[in-house]
A and B are shown apart, each in its own frame.
Chain A
Amino acid sequence: MKGNEAIAEAAIQAGCRYFFGYPITPQNEIPAYMAKRLPQVGGTFIQAESEISAINMVYGAAGAGARVMTSSSSPGISLKQEGISYIAGAELPCLIVNIVRGGPGLGGIQPAQSDYFQAVKGGGHGDYRLVVLAPSTIQEVVDLVQEGFDIADRYRNPVMILGDGMLGQMMEPVEFGKRKPAELPPKEWATAGWKGDRPRAVINSLFIDPQALEDHVKKIYKKYKAIRINETRAECFNCEDAEIIVAAYGTTARIVRSVIEIASKEGIKVGLIRPITLWPFPAETIRSWAEKDHVKAVLTVEMSMGQMAEDVTLAVGGRKPSLFYGRTGGMVPAPLEILAEIKKIREGALK
C-alpha cells in the first residue's frame, strides 16, 4: 500500500470519521482516499476553501467531540499554524499530517525534512507543544496513526505525523490493527448540546486575566511533562559497539540503515538512533549513548540544513563531537555520500 493511502486507511480504522483538507502535492492521495472512503463508513469529507478553513473545521469538529484529522504539506501547514495554536490553547485532540516538501516559500515538491523547527519548536504563537511522530516505514505509519489519535485524546493535545514525499509515495505491505486502541474516557467537555447534566461546554483559548492565562498554560505544561515521561520514543540500532552514531529520522533513517550495512562490510561500526517522537525528543537516549567510551562522534543526517541537529548537539552536551550532514531542497542523500562523511569523521576522530 502507498504511504499516503496507508495514513488515510489507518485513520479510518482508528475511528476517524471527519477529514478537512485542501489539495497540495505531495499528499493528495490522502484527501482523495478520504473523499472516497469516509462516506462509505458514515463519515464526512470536506475539501475546504483553504488550509486555514480546514484547520478551523478541525477545531470545530474536535470541540464537538469527534475524532478528526487534516493533512497538508509544508506551505499549507504554514497556513494552519494560527489554528493549531488555538487547538493547543483550547486543549483539543486532533491529528495533523505534514507530508513535508522542500522550502522556503513555494519551494519544491520533492521530499524534505526542513519543517522540523516548525513542527517541533512551535510554528504557531504562544506557549504550546505539538506531539510530533516520525514514522520511517509504512507499517510504522499505520501504527503511529492509531497511536497518534490515542495520544491526542488522552492528553487533549494536537498530534502531528511528520512524513515526507518519499514516505508518502512509497509502497510496502502493511498489516492494520496491530496497535490496539487505547481505552479513553468519554469527552464530556465537548460541545454536543447542553441539557444541564454537566457543566456548560465552552471551547476557548482566551484568558484575558494574565494570572488566569499563566495558570492555564502551567496546567497544559503539566500535561507536557507527563507526555515527556510516558511517550518519548526512539529506536536504537547497532549502537552496542558503534564508533560513530548517526541520528536520523523518517526517510533518512531508512537510508542510514543501508549505510550501516555497507559500513559494517568495510569494518566500520556505525549505529543509528532514530527518534520516533521528535517532540518529546529522546534526548536522554542520545545522551546515554554519547557517554559510552566506544562512541567517538555523533553525526546527524537530515534532509535539511540542520534542524534536528541542534537538538542532538544539545543532548550530546559536548561529551563527543556532534556533527551534521544534510541535503536539502528535495535532494535525498545517497548512502555513499553519508558513508564518505562517516569515514571523514572517523579519520579525524582516530587521529
Chain B
Amino acid sequence: MKKVFKRPESLTDKPMHYCPGCTHGIVHRLVAEALDELNIRQDTIGVAPVGCAVFAYDYFNCDMQEAAHGRAPAVATGIKRVHPDKVVFTYQGDGDLASIGAAEIVHAANRGEKITAIFINNAIYGMTGGQMAPTTLLDQVTATSPYGRKAETEGYPIRISEMLSTLEGAAYIERVSVHDIKHINHAKKAIRKAFEYQLQGRGFTMVEVLSTCPTNWGLTPLESLKWLKDNMIPYYPLGVKREVE
C-alpha cells in the first residue's frame, strides 16, 4: 500500500504534549516539512524557547539547543557565527520573543543575523497559565488582565512584524495564520521562503504565525480558530512586511 501521509523526517516520533486543538503542533509540522522539502535537515540547528514549545528539542529531528526565556536569538547568533554554513532557526512564543526577549530579537534582526525566527503569536502566555502577553488584544481577558487589557494601563498590543520590518538587517518578514487549510498551506510557503532566504545569506528572516491557545482562551479548538480569524487578523494584518530583493 502506498503511504500518502507520513511524519516528516524532520520530526521525531516522540508524542507531542500540546493541548488538543493547539496550533503549535501544526506549525512544528510546517517547519519540519519545509526542512524536508529543502533537504536541509542534516544541516539545520534549531533553538527551542521557554514556553509551551520548550520541548521542541525533542520534536525536531535535528541538532537542537534549548535557550533561556527570550534568549533564543542570542543563542542562535552564537551558533550561526560558529557554523555559518548551517541553517539556524529559533521557535519562540510571544512572551518569549516580544516581552522578555524583545532586545534579543531586535538586535539579532538589526545585525542581519542569517537566522530564521518562527514566531508564534497566540496573544497569551500559554505555559504559565494564561497571563497577558505584549500581543494580548485590547479588552482580552487573561489571568493578569482580569478586567480585559486596557490601553491606558497595559498599552497596546505590539505588532512585532511591522516593528522589525523597519530594520535594514531584516531580509524577509511575513505574518501568516494557521486557522484554515488555505492559510496553513500559505504559512508553509512562507516558512520555506524564510529558510531559502537564509540559505541565500540574505539576512534576518522571520515568520510570525497567528496561533491559538484554546486552553487559556477558554474556547474549544473550533471556537479558537474562529476567534483568531475574527479578532486577531483585523489587528494583526497578514502579509509580507518586508522583503529585500
Chain A residues within CB distance 8 Å of chain B: 18, 20, 44, 46, 48-50, 52-54, 56-66, 68, 82-83, 86, 90, 191-196, 200-206
CA separation between A43 and B44, bound complex, in Å?
Answer: 22
Pairs across A and B, CB under 8 Å, 19 listed: A18-B81, A46-B77, A53-B77, A56-B71, A56-B75, A56-B78, A58-B78, A59-B75, A60-B77, A64-B78, A66-B82, A68-B78, A191-B64, A192-B45, A195-B42, A200-B62, A202-B63, A204-B65, A204-B66
Q: Mark B50-61, 1 if CB is under 8 A from A, else 0.
A: 000011011001
Contact between chains at B63 and A193 (CB < 8 Å): yes
Cross-interface CB contact of B75 among A60, A68, A82, A193, cutoff 8 Å: A60
Tell yes or no: B67 within 8 A of A by CB. Answer: yes
Contact between chains at A61 and B65 (CB < 8 Å): no
When distances are taken between beta carbons in the complex, the residues of chain B under 8 Å from A56 are: 67-68, 71, 74-75, 78, 104
CA separation between A57 and B86, bound complex, in Å?
Answer: 16
Most chain A CB atoms below 10 A, which of B76, B81, B86: B81
Majority DSSP secondary structure for residues of B touching A: helix
Within the complex, what minimum Cβ distance (angstroms) separates A230 from chain B? 29
Tell yes or no: B190 within 8 A of A by CB. Answer: no
Q: Mark B107-129, 1 if CB is under 8 A from A, else 0.
A: 10001000000000000000000
CA separation between A20 and B42, bound complex, in Å?
Answer: 27
Looking across the interface, which residue of chain A has its beta carbon closest to that of B64? Answer: A202
Chain B interface size range: 35 or more
Cross-interface CB contact of A49 among B41, B66, B107, cutoff 8 Å: B107
CA separation between A143 and B113, bound complex, in Å?
Answer: 35
Contact between chains at A202 and B107 (CB < 8 Å): no
Q: A18-B82, A202-B63 are in contact. Are A48 and B54 (CB under 8 A)?
A: no
CA separation between A312 and B133, bound complex, in Å?
Answer: 49
Looking across the interface, which residue of chain B has its beta carbon closest to that of A64? Answer: B82
Cross-interface CB contact of B54 among A59, A65, A206, cutoff 8 Å: A206
Contact between chains at A193 and B103 (CB < 8 Å): no
Contact between chains at A63 and B68 (CB < 8 Å): no
When distances are taken between beta carbons in the complex, the residues of chain B under 8 Å from A46 are: 77, 81, 111
CA separation between A68 and B82, bound complex, in Å?
Answer: 10
When distances are taken between beta carbons in the complex, the residues of chain A under 8 Å from B67 are: 56, 59-60, 86
Contact between chains at A48 and B107 (CB < 8 Å): yes
Q: A56-B74, A60-B47, A191-B45 are in contact. Are A65 and B66 (CB under 8 A)?
A: no
Tell yes or no: B83 within 8 A of A by CB. Answer: yes
When distances are taken between beta carbons in the complex, the residues of chain A under 8 Å from B65 are: 59-60, 63, 191, 202-204
Q: A49-B104, A203-B64 are in contact. Are A193 and B78 (CB under 8 A)?
A: no
Contact between chains at A64 and B64 (CB < 8 Å): no
Cross-interface CB contact of A53 among B42, B47, B81, B104, cutoff 8 Å: B104
Tell yes or no: B139 within 8 A of A by CB. Answer: no
Tell yes or no: B79 within 8 A of A by CB. Answer: yes
Within the complex, what minimum Cβ distance (angstroms) separates A133 from chain B? 23
CA separation between A8 and B103, bound complex, in Å?
Answer: 27
CA separation between A50 and B66, bound complex, in Å?
Answer: 20
Looking across the interface, which residue of chain B has its beta carbon closest to that of A204? Answer: B66
Looking across the interface, which residue of chain A has its beta carbon closest to that of B74? Answer: A56
Closest 9 CB pairs of A and B: A60-B78, A56-B74, A61-B78, A191-B63, A60-B75, A56-B71, A57-B78, A49-B107, A64-B82
Contact between chains at A18 and B63 (CB < 8 Å): no
Looking across the interface, which residue of chain B has its beta carbon closest to that of A60? Answer: B78
Looking across the interface, which residue of chain A has its beta carbon closest to that of B78? Answer: A60
Contact between chains at A83 and B68 (CB < 8 Å): yes
Within the complex, what minimum Cβ distance (angstroms) separates B15 from chain A? 15
CA separation between A82 and B50, bound complex, in Å?
Answer: 13
Cross-interface CB contact of B79 among A64, A82, A206, cutoff 8 Å: A64
Contact between chains at A61 and B66 (CB < 8 Å): no
Q: A18-B82, A49-B107, A193-B44 are in contact. Are A203 and B77 (CB under 8 A)?
A: no
Q: A53-B103, A56-B104, A200-B61 are in contact. Are A191 and B79 (CB under 8 A)?
A: yes
